[in-house]
Structure 1
Amino acid sequence: MKVLVVEDDASIAANLYDYLEANGYVVDYASNGQAGLEMAVAVSWDAILLDLSLPCMDGLTLCRKLREEAHRDTPVLMLTARDALDDRLAGFMHGADDYLVKPFSLREVGARLGALIKRYRGEVAAQELRVADVRLDLTSLGVERAGRLIKLQPKCLQLLRIMMQAPGRVFGRAELESEVWGDEQPDSDTLRAHIYTLRKALTQRGEAELIETVHGLGYRLVARDTDAK
C-alpha cells in the first residue's frame, strides 16, 4: 500500500516515514503544499497524511484542490496542532476523511490509516470480492471461477486482488510492480510473465478473458460476458 506524507516538520515526517515503512507501506514525502498536490495528483495513492500548516500551499487548500479540481477521492488523514472544533470542521468541509491532533501516537496514525484504506477499498464489511464469475475470499484467499477452484502463485494472487478491488480501472505497470514487489523491482518481463500466468489460470477451461492489456498504459480487469468462447 502506498502512502504520501505531506509534512513540513522534518522530524515528524521522518518518524511517520520510518513507522509506516516498518509496517509494510510504500511511503513518499513532500515538505510543502505545492509539491504535495503535484505528487498527490501524479500518482495513485492508497492514502495521504496531510499537515494543515504548510509552506507554499496550506493543507486545506491542497485538500480542496485535490477534490474539486483533480477529482481525486484518495483518503486524506489530516494532521494538525489545531484542535478547535471550527478547525476540525474546516478540515472535513475541505475534503478530509479523518482528523488527528498533534502530538499523536504513531500507533493511532497506523490504526486510523488502516481503517481509512479498508473503507476506501470496500473491505470493511466485505469478506469477498466478485467480478463477473470470479470470486476471491478475502479471509482464506481462495479463488474460484464459476465454482472451479483456481490455484494461484502468491504474486498472481496479489495482482488479482488489486485489480478486483477496482474493476475497469487501468493499473499502470509501475503501480502494479510497486504494489506487488515493493522496493524489490522486478526485471522488465516479470510482471508480463505473471499476468500471462494469471490469465492462463483464469481461462483454463475456455472461459472469457477478463484481463485486458491497455497498450502503453497497463492492465485492467473487466466484467464481461463470461460464457465460454
Structure 2
Amino acid sequence: MRILVIEDHRDILANIIDYGTLRGCEVVGALDGLTGLHLAVTGSFDAIILDVMLPGMDGNQVCKSLRENSGSHIPILMLTARDDLTDRLAGFKAGADDYIVKPFALSELYARIETITRRAAGVKRRVLQVHDLSYDLDSLEVTRAGSRLKLNPTNMIFLEILMRKSPSVVRRRELEEALWGRNKPDSDSLRSNIYLLRQTLDKPFDVPLLHTHHGVGYRLHGPR
C-alpha cells in the first residue's frame, strides 16, 4: 500500500512514516498543504492521511480541492487535535472518508486506513486521471479543474486512448484504427477531431495537455 501523509508536526509525521514502513507500506510525507496537494495530484497513492491544521492551505481546503478540482477518489483520513462535532462535519463535507482525533494509537490509525481502502476498493469507479483532467468511464463524465467538458463520441474514444497511454505518444495509425478500422476516411478526419479535442481540453485553460509530435502522433501529459 502506498500512503501519502500530510502533517506539519515533524515528530508525528516521522512516527506515522516509520510505523507504516514497518508494516510494509510505502509512505511519503509532506509538511504543508500545498506540497501535499501537489503530491496527491501528480502521484499515485492508495490512501491519504491528512492533518486539518496545516500552514498555507489547511486540510479541509486540500481535501475539497482533491474532490472538486481534481476529481480524486483516493480515500482520505483526516487528523485533528479538536474533537468538536462542527470540525468533524466540516471535514466530512470537504470529502473526508474518516476522522481520527489526536493523540491516537498508530495501530488504530492504520486499521482505519485499511478499512477505508477496502471500502473504496469495493465501490471503486473506473476513472482515468491526467493532471487535472478526469474521465469517469462509468458515467462518461469528463472534467478538467472541476469544470465539466462536452465532447462528441469520436473525441471520447480518442481521449480514452490518449489517457490510457499517457504520457506515451500514441501514433496516428493507432487512433485511426481505433475508430475507423481499415476504412479510413479520405479527408483528414483525425486532424480535424484532434483540433476539436484540443479546443475543448486546452483552450479554456492555462496549461496545455494535448501535444502534437509531428509525423508521429499525439501525447497527453501534464507539466513536468
Q: Which residue of structure 1 lines up, in the alignment, with residue 100 of structure 2?
A: 100
- Secondary structure of 2:15's counterpart equals helix
Q: Which residue of structure 2 lines up, in the alignment, with residue 3 of structure 1?
A: 3
Mapped partners of 1:168, 1:112: distance in 2: 24
Q: Which residue of structure 1 lines up, in the alignment, with residue 73 of structure 2?
A: 73
Aligned runs of 1:11-30 on 2, under 5 Å? 11-30=11-30
Structure with higher Rg: it is 2
Alpha-carbon distance change, 21 to 168 in structure 1, aligned in 2, over 3 angstroms = same
Aligned runs of 1:1-229 on 2, under 5 Å? 1-122=1-122, 214=165, 216-217=167-168
Once the two structures are superposed, residues 130-165 of structure 1 have per-residue CA deviations (whole angstroms, 9 ceiling, x without a partner) of xxxxxxxxxxxxxxxxxxxxxxxxxxxxxxxxxxx8
Q: Which residue of structure 1 lines up, in the alignment, with residue 218 of structure 2?
A: none
1:167 Cα offset (Å): 6.7
TM-score after normalising by structure 2: 0.56
1:120 Cα offset (Å): 1.2
1:117 Cα offset (Å): 0.8
User: What RMSD over aligned residues (CA atoms) do the two structures have, in Å?
Assistant: 2.3
TM-score after normalising by structure 1: 0.55
Q: What is the total number of aligned residue pairs between the two structures?
A: 136
Mapped partners of 1:108, 1:217: distance in 2: 41
- Secondary structure of 1:53's counterpart equals coil
Alpha-carbon distance change, 217 to 111 in structure 1, aligned in 2, over 3 angstroms = farther
1:214 Cα offset (Å): 3.2
- Secondary structure of 1:50's counterpart equals strand
**Percent of aligned pairs with the same amino acid:** 47
Q: List structure 1 segments (4+ residues) > 4 angstroms apart after TM superposition.
A: 165-170, 215-218
In structure 1, list runs of 5 or more residues that go unmatched. Answer: 124-164, 171-212, 219-229
Alpha-carbon distance change, 107 to 217 in structure 1, aligned in 2, over 3 angstroms = farther
- Secondary structure of 1:104's counterpart equals coil
Mapped partners of 1:167, 1:62: distance in 2: 23
Mapped partners of 1:168, 1:76: distance in 2: 17
1:215 Cα offset (Å): 7.1
In structure 2, list runs of 5 or more residues that go unmatched. Answer: 130-163, 170-224
